[in-house]
Amino acid sequence: MPIAGGTDIMVRITGEIGEPPERMLDLAGLDDLRGFALDGRAILIGALTTYTEIRRSAMCREHLPALVEAAATIGAAQIQNRGTIGGNLANASAAGDTLPVLLATDAEILLGSARGERRVPVAEFFTGYRTTALAPDELILRIRVPLSAGREVRFRKVGTRRAQAISKVVLSLAWREHGRTAGWSDVRVALGSVAATPIRAMATEAALEGRHPIPEAADLAAETLAAEIEPIDDVRSTADYRRTVAARVLHRLIREAGGW
Ligand SMILES: Cc1cc2nc3c(=O)[nH]c(=O)nc-3n(C[C@H](O)[C@H](O)[C@H](O)COP(=O)(O)OP(=O)(O)OC[C@H]3O[C@@H](n4cnc5c(N)ncnc54)[C@H](O)[C@@H]3O)c2cc1C
């Protein structure tokens, strides 16, 4: 099993929560998989890039501030210094905090093996509860986030406290603006901790498409989202709380975008 920062794997090493890995292969020496690059229409983020590196990256702060915000909410300093964005994807927890941002921005994952390389849209990467499209012989190499003119992206995490809290609800909202008269386009509403995998709320996206961020649109979107998601009760929260809070978070983000 590949090990990057080890912040997910090491929790399993005692064997108390399932079989620990028999052997591990440290990826730390693969410097090619670290850091950021711009390829004109997209930002490329190496799989071994840590949350601290994301927080400090001028490129990421300029082009993808919502990912910087998400990185800042993960664990605390120790976890941010070691935990990687590739590990967050491969671990495929529904509560992974970067994952809604990657879904909302239509990111693609570049996978590689001795057989070659391929691209998988993040929306197709999570195949079920903690399962992914990653084959056993593949590594996540980098994440490609397209940069779309006029796109705005927002992020909000709700947890028990500001650090070391796994999300009760995590949400990312993205849209494109086309001046004052036209409504929003390419709306994305992505959530974590409300289903078995990170999800996009497509009915809610459709309700916001072509709309301006006015109170009626926010009310309709919140109502649609509450009806669309099917969260569960677990140790961290209840289904009712998650549904209500997800709807209110979305409402608030639309209100902030509308300036009312
Ligand atoms: C105290 C604590 C707090 C935490 N808080 C948060 C939080 O607030 N939000 C959050 O989202 N997560 C949190 N986590 C979870 C964890 O830190 C993140 O999921 C992190 O991104 C995992 O990255 P890693 O590099 O440490 O992964 P590792 O533990 O090294 O690996 C995790 C899994 O990914 C696989 N893997 C890693 N890199 C690759 C690659 N390049 N290609 C293929 N497979 C790969 C490994 O084989 C393994 O299965 C927390 C963990 C701890 C211990």
**Ligand 1 pocket residue status of 77, Cβ below 6 Å:** no
Residue 240 has what pLDDT?
Answer: 97
Cα 32 from Cα 179, distance rounded (Å): 40
C-alpha 260 – ligand 1 centre gap (Å): 38
For residue 74, which atom of ligand 1 is closest to its CA?
Answer: 8
pLDDT of the chain, 260 residues: tens digit per residue = 999 999 999 998 988 888 899 999 999 999 999 999 999 899 999 999 999 999 999 999 999 999 999 999 999 999 999 999 999 999 999 999 999 999 999 999 999 999 999 999 999 999 999 999 999 999 999 999 999 999 999 999 999 988 899 999 999 999 999 877 899 999 999 999 999 999 999 999 999 999 999 999 999 999 999 999 999 999 999 999 999 999 999 999 999 999 99
Ligand 1, residue 4: give the atom nearest the CA. 30
What is the enclosing helix (H) or strand (E) of 109?
strand 108-113
Ligand 1 centre and the CA of 246: distance in Å? 24
The CB of 120 under 6 Å from ligand 1? The reply is: no
pLDDT at position 7: 97
| Rama region for 242: left / alpha / beta (φ>0; ψ in -120 to 50; rest) | alpha
Sheet holding 108-113, edge to edge: 36-38, 42-46, 139-146, 108-113, 116-121
**What is the pLDDT, as a whole number, of residue 162?**
85
In the sheet that holds 151-158, the strands lie side by side as 151-158, 169-176, 185-192, 199-200
Nearest atom in ligand 1 to 84's CA: 25
In this predicted structure, what is the pLDDT of residue 180? 78
Phi–psi pair at 186, nearest 5 degrees = 50, 45
Q: Which atom of ligand 1 is nearest to the CA of 48?
A: 41
CB atoms within 10 A of CB 37: 12
Q: How far apart are CA 100 and CA 123, in angstroms?
A: 10
- pTM higher than 0.85 for the full model? yes
Per-residue confidence (pLDDT) for residue 196, from 0 to 100? 96
